[in-house]
Amino acid sequence: MAENPLVVALQSAQIGTGTPTWIQFGYLVVAVCFILALKGLASPRTARTGNLVGAAGAVLAVVLTFVSVGPDHLLPILAAILVGVAVGVVAARRVVMTAMPQLVALFNGVGGAAAGLVALLELGEVGDAGVPAHLATAFTVLVGAVSFAGSVLTFGKLQDLVPARPIVVPRFRWVYGGALLLTLAAAILVVITGSVTLAAVLAVLALVLGVLLVLPVGGADVPIVISLLNAFTGLSVAASGYLLGNALLLVAGTLVGAAGSLLTRLMAQAMGRRVTTILFGGLSGTSTQGVTAESTLPVKSAGAADIAVMLGYARRVVVIPGYGLAVAQAQHVLRELVDTLTARDIEVVYAIHPVAGRMPGHMNVLLAEADVPYDQLVELADANPEFPATDVALVVGANDVVNPSARRPYGSPISGMPILNADEAKAVVFLKRSMRPGFAGIENPLLHNPKTTLFFGDAKESLTRLVAALRSV
């Protein structure tokens, strides 16, 4: 009687064998914790609770795994955990808000590398485990290595260690195409032979492929790539869960992969971009990066006293925070300015673009540090209809998210990107360090609009001067 292929595959991966029922029930509890954590992260009000639930689930997962596996290699594992905890705690506590996307990229890359290494070690121990296990190994090594290399490069772009502009080397299409074909060929050979040596070669080729994948990506699109690589890491972790016979890894990796894929799609929509264009647009050999020099077109500027008068006699003010606010760490002073305005019975709200800062939620977390009430945060879809009734739109360190060039059907790197319609307000006050363009590297016509007044300087210093001037009005 022929055996069921699914049963053979599961047995070859040793899924579920020798795991006590109560351990499996514990894994189910952990999976529920992860799902509730993702649900909690959907809103700023519940994000902290969601984080705690997810962390508790992760701790429980580690404890259950220790209990189920036994004391083998206990000391090296504990030592590795202590080193990882020390590095993670120090990095998380010292990181500034502006560097949060870089930290996310690094953590994501480490996850992909870990999954790939586990797959290589598992293949070395079990040897010829059958085609299903070899297929999972090849997939884990390939995707994990691509995620690691790509994440390290995105870290370099965001940290200004590597130029943020698209980098297209000569004959890039041939180089990338050749690397892709060699990587796929190595993966097929690993599936057929189960060779550890070929798997190591696959890992090296995948690292090169990950670098080539991210090189042509422009700076403004890097956050989307981070999200996509996060999804890759989740899928590689899920595949490693199959290899190790660990259903919890399978579930957790699938959740991360699904959430990362959905977030990537939503981010691309919020920026009016296609994921395929972001990843493969550079293969055409052209750059999607705009200008980087300062504009020489005329603008209208004013001092703190004049702008304080504009704000003090307004009835409704919409604050549009951006990456410049995070760089200056000016969220607390901005909150002080808003409190001063509301004390004068002026209606003030914060209009939050989905990709304000450099990642979704970046600005929400920044404002939460200053204890900004959640009911003052207004999303793009709700904020835009109210701009015509707004007396002053106060843009603090934002640029691309209020750039009217996005309304052009073509001809701009941000064409089609949904923006906050600040130009529809009766007056616009733009706090800006200089006339240099934003992260997308393109000119912003709003700066030269007759209704726009610029206030140059560091955001924190400028806001401090505005608070002082406003109190004397």
Q: Which residues are catalytic?
A: 400
* Residue 403 contacts residue 291 (beta carbons within 8 Å): no
Residue 119: CB partners within 8 Å, gap ≥ 6? 136, 137, 140, 141, 144, 199, 236, 239, 240, 243
* Residue 470 contacts residue 311 (beta carbons within 8 Å): yes
The number of beta carbons lying within 10 Å of the beta carbon of residue 190 is 27
Residues in the chain: 473
Q: Which two tokens stand for residue 92?
A: 């998380």
- Cα separation, 396 vs 325, in Å, equals 6
Q: How many alpha carbons lie under 13 Å from residue 470 in its C-beta half-sphere?
A: 25
- φ, ψ of residue 392 to 5 degrees: the values are -140, 130
- Cα separation, 155 vs 99, in Å, equals 9
Which pairing describes strands 377-379 and 428-432: parallel, antiparallel, or unpaired?
unpaired
Enclosing H/E stretch for 461? helix 459-471
Closest CA to 154 of 215, 107, 99, 236: 215
- Per DSSP (E only), the strands in 112-249 are none
Q: Which two tokens stand for residue 316?
A: 């409704």
Which residue matches tokens 């990107």?
A: 417
Q: In the beta sheet, which residues pair with residue 429?
A: 394, 453
* Residue 321 contacts residue 363 (beta carbons within 8 Å): yes
